[in-house]
Structure 1
């Protein structure tokens, strides 16, 4: 093949280099035809050799031919690997192929087959300086580099001008703008080692007037492009580190004076500053994107505000929370979106964080844009930028569902406790019921015999007194159960600790009566801030746990001590102590963890103490425990003294009997016995008309019946007391204001809110005669 090539009579002189392996070739191939002989075998090996040759050549100035006898399918694989064409092994047509190749080189303006015309004289340096300075002030970004090399090549009238940046490994250069023979070429990346640009990086300025390709034989691009002269300057960062190269190259000798070199250095400095600015801007954009992605990855709503309380950064969750886009939120404040009172509260809390510099965590209630009320926990923290400008970071966590679940767990724990105490409660109720029933039977028998003799009256009075005392005991147990189980979770006010303890003791009396001896050490203490039902739940749990700590019933040995005292002017301490087996350290460390229990399966849920901990903390107090194995345990509850309105209960004045006009009263209750009992209690003062249906009462009023006041039960079949009162407010508003409600137990939340919104009180069953008369008198007033 080499002989045929030499005998073809080429139109230009050329050199033929023949090697046996790819390892003998230089890293970059010179311009010309590249011929690969393929002797067959595994096609993948031929494809690999073809791909390697393709990676070493400069495509515009080379033509890769593969001599092969392979099938068309395998030849296609070689073409895809980089070959320009495949031909039979014997070759041929070399003269025609070389002529075509030369014509392609000449069309590109870079051929070296024909002599070049002499290069005209460059324009004066002063004119070049003015043109170049004008070009460097018009554009920014990567367009700046394209403008720079265009004017640089034109002003100095050179073949090539380029600007490139060092890659992170600093062993290669990637061109940012590459101007060659009057047009832009695609940007390329090439290794610096063995190139004049490498010397420019090392020495800041590098000038080779002629024979630069000879000086750097490893730089194939110099030879391919036919470059002879080179002038290059390093681009420097603000710290003085080389970050790139600005160079001009020429196909003729390049004689440059001191002014030319100074001009190139000045332009390189300008290009270095622009490259550094671009890198800084890209780094800033990456940091901004990173920050945005980081904020958006936070599942809770989050925003950053400046000192003027304007949003300067928001995450995706906050946009969803506010139902606004980031563009709408940025630059705005609370007052642009929230009700005035909530916006003012947020502003005050932000200002507090700015002023104090301390983190603030707070639970708040927010009315959303759809009118729904949500419970939120907000956390605020400040930070300061370098110039001293403070900013505020606020995170928001919606705990509405958590609070709802927490309430359900507390109620569930109460029901578990009620179940545990059921036997004791039944015992406490059945005892007085036994003699109440017996006394009523005795009274019935006595009255059935006829007139009661005078000598039996003292015994009758004693029977009635015992019956009233028994009913009072039953009523107290029921009231304790209602206070324990009711769900007015969020009401806080003055609570009498001793009253709560007495109610809790009545509920656990049966648990306590036969297992341990109770010792009281109760000092006089003020009312505390809390919730009676929730505090009762805490005390019942602590008492039940103390009782269950004893492994056997032993009234002489087992002891539970209940103590109250003040701890300074602001705190009240309640202690529940037992002399049981105590607890190990590993148990103490987890005693308040949810679902942790040392009780057998079916006896404990592990929620009791965790809920106690939550309840006490919600009241602003603390709960602690001390215990050692073999030395019992002490649970200590510390609660804040109530500092609201005057917590001292008013002293009841003695009732003064006076004549009152007889009035007509309508009683609505589905229990006929209630109507009968009320009529008996009021018959000496008022006329009572009782009905069992609210609709019947409305019919009576519509027919013209006149009443001075109405008593109505809340819970009734058909029309409830609340529905009756709403209807009455539409028909007879004046009569509705003289209507009172009564109830014997828990009713719906909507009904409770309706009752709470009215000015009149609720008469709770069972009621004593005095409470009933006072309630009716208030309605009639």
Structure 2
């Protein structure tokens, strides 16, 4: 501590020093004597200021006190005026800035030092509080300036800091969020998922980036990319997370994937039509033959075997049409986000069926498909990869006789439990500079209008998303080979799907009543004929007629309704049924021929017991209906 003596005579200064020494403050208190306030150049930040009153005019003394007061940090200094003036004049000195006016030089210095030290301690504490508040304000402002949602959690998974963007995501102010956890604001299954992901980062200490799903206040599922890391704060671990909403990006990616799939299907449209028309030709002719045969008064024993053969051929042809339509529907639908075990052979065979006619007329097809373990991914996306590689192979073939062109597809189990798929051709091949760019978006060697340049880029993205890779080897004039390598899932026992146990004929009194709603009368008639031995089927063509029958008290054990119908759709019917007879909603199933909107797909997931896709055979229909019964 510094004691500055201003204009204090030497004898008086010595008395002040003796007083300070006697108080015990001398080891930490240094004395500096100056001739006047005008020689103090810098502000006095801490210590004692002692001014001497030489007995001159009061105004001159007041001016000196005001100058000293202006030079000091008031909260950290103590200004003492050594004077013997009367009370009125000392009050004037106090108003000018003096903390104390004393006449006795040698006493009271210890108390003054103690009081000043106490003031310094309080000022230090207040300064720390102000600094802490400034730091807190600075941190809050910095967090709010970050445009991405951001939060900090303590070890108990409670929010201890959030920014304005995160409050917007959650739909609650910071005051409502701080000190609480996800479980207080989001669905239990989502909160549990967040807790598990956060806990993994807490335990491992390894930063993590992953996709998570949050259902917002409007019920929309938002796709969030979260980046999380753990840091040590005052001996306690905290987790910081930055969030990026990629919902719109995911939607655009899905639309791009769908557009590329449709472009691939468009390329093969003529071949697909050929694959459908061939079986339709003999299905139609065989049915016409059956019609003519059944018009006869009676059938001979010799005609029955041929009749059975004709019906079997018609069923086989219808099955082929069903298969190609199913492959097209699977390939075109937008359920790319569903992930799980994928049967690679089925995905490859589905793509081959779509491209078979085009391949048959352009090249010799060599297929070697071994049974391989399933992979984790999405069947639609894997089918798109295979189809894109097949189309790419077809486009690389030169114009020459089909027997001189070759496309080879092989599927096998590789080393380290990997699944390897190869698509190779003996086409033009690629130069090294082309090979380096084939996976670049929008790069194509095809003429304008014949290629988007996205096929191979999308293939790479989809394969990498399944944890795999694509290898390419090519030589000009010799052809190209694309090898897709995917990690296989551990082989496990897969239970066979259950089939309903149906007797040959169920007595009429025991048959359950099924209400079938479809605007196509032929559908109702065919279903009635197909299962009339096990169910009592009541078919109507209008959903409004079905509601009228239900409103009159007619009872049914289950309801099967077409999703897309003119007038009142299946969605409208279920919504009205929730009002009229809510107990029947859980016994209502929807069926579709494949043409429905994204809104309809979402509706199916929220309001019904499932979706039966047409065409269906007896066993699949009965399995679906059995699940509807209480």
TM-score band by shorter chain is 0.7 to 0.9
| Aligned twin of 1:184 | 67
| Aligned twin of 2:472 | 626
- Residue 256 of structure 2 corresponds to residue 378 of structure 1: no
| Aligned twin of 1:495 | 342
- Residue 540 of structure 2 corresponds to residue 691 of structure 1: yes
* 1:763/1:775 contact within 8 Å kept: yes
Structure 1: which 5+ runs fail to align?
A: 1-117, 137-147, 166-178, 189-276
| Aligned twin of 1:744 | 593
Q: Which stretch shows the higher mean deviation, 681-690 or 605-614?
A: 681-690
C-alpha distance in 2 between matches for 1:351 and 1:586: 47
**In the TM superposition, what is the alpha-carbon distance from 1:479 to its structure 2 partner?**
0.8
| Aligned twin of 2:570 | 721
- Indicate the structure with greater helix content: 2
Q: Which stretch shows the higher mean deviation, 467-476 or 352-361?
A: 352-361
**In the TM superposition, what is the alpha-carbon distance from 1:330 to its structure 2 partner?**
6.9
* 1:362/1:378 contact within 8 Å kept: yes
- Residue 458 of structure 2 corresponds to residue 611 of structure 1: yes
Secondary structure in 2 matching 1:419:
helix
C-alpha distance in 2 between matches for 1:707 and 1:308: 52
- Residue 38 of structure 2 corresponds to residue 160 of structure 1: yes
Correspondence 1:323-338 to 2 at 5 A: none
Secondary structure in 2 matching 1:719:
coil
**In the TM superposition, what is the alpha-carbon distance from 1:408 to its structure 2 partner?**
1.4
C-alpha distance in 2 between matches for 1:540 and 1:409: 16
Once the two structures are superposed, residues 259-304 of structure 1 have per-residue CA deviations (whole angstroms, 9 ceiling, x without a partner) of xxxxxxxxxxxxxxxxxx9x99999999999977765554322345
C-alpha distance in 2 between matches for 1:340 and 1:731: 31
Correspondence 1:373-522 to 2 at 5 A: 373-383=221-231, 392-448=239-295, 450-522=297-369
Once the two structures are superposed, residues 494-526 of structure 1 have per-residue CA deviations (whole angstroms, 9 ceiling, x without a partner) of 322111111111111122112222222222212
**In the TM superposition, what is the alpha-carbon distance from 1:389 to its structure 2 partner?**
6.4
Secondary structure in 2 matching 1:676:
helix
| Aligned twin of 2:560 | 711
| Aligned twin of 2:612 | 763
When residues 295 and 718 of structure 1 are mapped into structure 2, their CA distance, relative to the original with a 3 A threshold, is same
C-alpha distance in 2 between matches for 1:696 and 1:328: 51
Correspondence 1:361-376 to 2 at 5 A: 361-368=209-216, 372-376=220-224
When residues 489 and 746 of structure 1 are mapped into structure 2, their CA distance, relative to the original with a 3 A threshold, is farther
Correspondence 1:300-315 to 2 at 5 A: 300-304=148-152, 315=163
Secondary structure in 2 matching 1:123:
helix
**In the TM superposition, what is the alpha-carbon distance from 1:603 to its structure 2 partner?**
1.7
Secondary structure in 1 matching 2:404:
coil
Secondary structure in 2 matching 1:628:
strand
* 2:463/2:470 contact within 8 Å kept: no
**In the TM superposition, what is the alpha-carbon distance from 1:404 to its structure 2 partner?**
1.4
C-alpha distance in 1 between matches for 2:538 and 2:196: 58
Secondary structure in 2 matching 1:184:
helix
When residues 676 and 621 of structure 1 are mapped into structure 2, their CA distance, relative to the original with a 3 A threshold, is same
C-alpha distance in 1 between matches for 2:158 and 2:587: 53
Number of equivalences: 551
Q: 1:547 aligns with which of 394, 407, 411?
A: 394
Secondary structure in 1 matching 2:259:
helix
**In the TM superposition, what is the alpha-carbon distance from 1:732 to its structure 2 partner?**
4.3
C-alpha distance in 1 between matches for 2:622 and 2:184: 55
Larger Rg: 1 or 2? 1
**In the TM superposition, what is the alpha-carbon distance from 1:595 to its structure 2 partner?**
2.5
Correspondence 1:236-255 to 2 at 5 A: none
**In the TM superposition, what is the alpha-carbon distance from 1:672 to its structure 2 partner?**
1.7
Structure 2: which 5+ runs fail to align?
A: 1-6, 44-61, 72-124
| Aligned twin of 2:428 | 581
| Aligned twin of 2:59 | none
| Aligned twin of 1:127 | 16
C-alpha distance in 1 between matches for 2:171 and 2:500: 58
* 1:411/1:487 contact within 8 Å kept: yes
**In the TM superposition, what is the alpha-carbon distance from 1:704 to its structure 2 partner?**
5.2
Q: Which stretch shows the higher mean deviation, 609-618 or 539-548?
A: 609-618
Once the two structures are superposed, residues 661-687 of structure 1 have per-residue CA deviations (whole angstroms, 9 ceiling, x without a partner) of 364554321112222323333456665
When residues 521 and 732 of structure 1 are mapped into structure 2, their CA distance, relative to the original with a 3 A threshold, is same
Q: Which stretch shows the higher mean deviation, 406-415 or 285-294?
A: 285-294
- Residue 382 of structure 2 corresponds to residue 535 of structure 1: yes
- Residue 523 of structure 2 corresponds to residue 674 of structure 1: yes
| Aligned twin of 1:259 | none
C-alpha distance in 2 between matches for 1:531 and 1:714: 25
Q: CA RMSD in A?
A: 4.6
When residues 656 and 698 of structure 1 are mapped into structure 2, their CA distance, relative to the original with a 3 A threshold, is closer
Secondary structure in 1 matching 2:402:
coil
Could you say which structure has the greater relative contact order, defined with CA pairs below 8 angstroms and 6 or more residues apart? 2
C-alpha distance in 2 between matches for 1:301 and 1:734: 43
Secondary structure in 2 matching 1:434:
helix
When residues 418 and 286 of structure 1 are mapped into structure 2, their CA distance, relative to the original with a 3 A threshold, is same
When residues 494 and 133 of structure 1 are mapped into structure 2, their CA distance, relative to the original with a 3 A threshold, is farther
* 1:494/1:647 contact within 8 Å kept: no
| Aligned twin of 2:87 | none
C-alpha distance in 2 between matches for 1:160 and 1:546: 95
* 1:122/1:157 contact within 8 Å kept: no
* 2:588/2:608 contact within 8 Å kept: no
When residues 180 and 778 of structure 1 are mapped into structure 2, their CA distance, relative to the original with a 3 A threshold, is closer
**In the TM superposition, what is the alpha-carbon distance from 1:660 to its structure 2 partner?**
3.6
| Aligned twin of 2:446 | 599
When residues 645 and 732 of structure 1 are mapped into structure 2, their CA distance, relative to the original with a 3 A threshold, is farther
C-alpha distance in 1 between matches for 2:68 and 2:256: 73
Secondary structure in 2 matching 1:556:
helix
C-alpha distance in 1 between matches for 2:501 and 2:162: 65
Once the two structures are superposed, residues 710-754 of structure 1 have per-residue CA deviations (whole angstroms, 9 ceiling, x without a partner) of 432222112222333443454445655554432211434454445
| Aligned twin of 1:299 | 147
* 1:515/1:547 contact within 8 Å kept: yes
| Aligned twin of 1:14 | none
Once the two structures are superposed, residues 431-489 of structure 1 have per-residue CA deviations (whole angstroms, 9 ceiling, x without a partner) of 11122222233333444454444443333333222222211111111111111111222
When residues 388 and 703 of structure 1 are mapped into structure 2, their CA distance, relative to the original with a 3 A threshold, is closer
**In the TM superposition, what is the alpha-carbon distance from 1:547 to its structure 2 partner?**
1.4
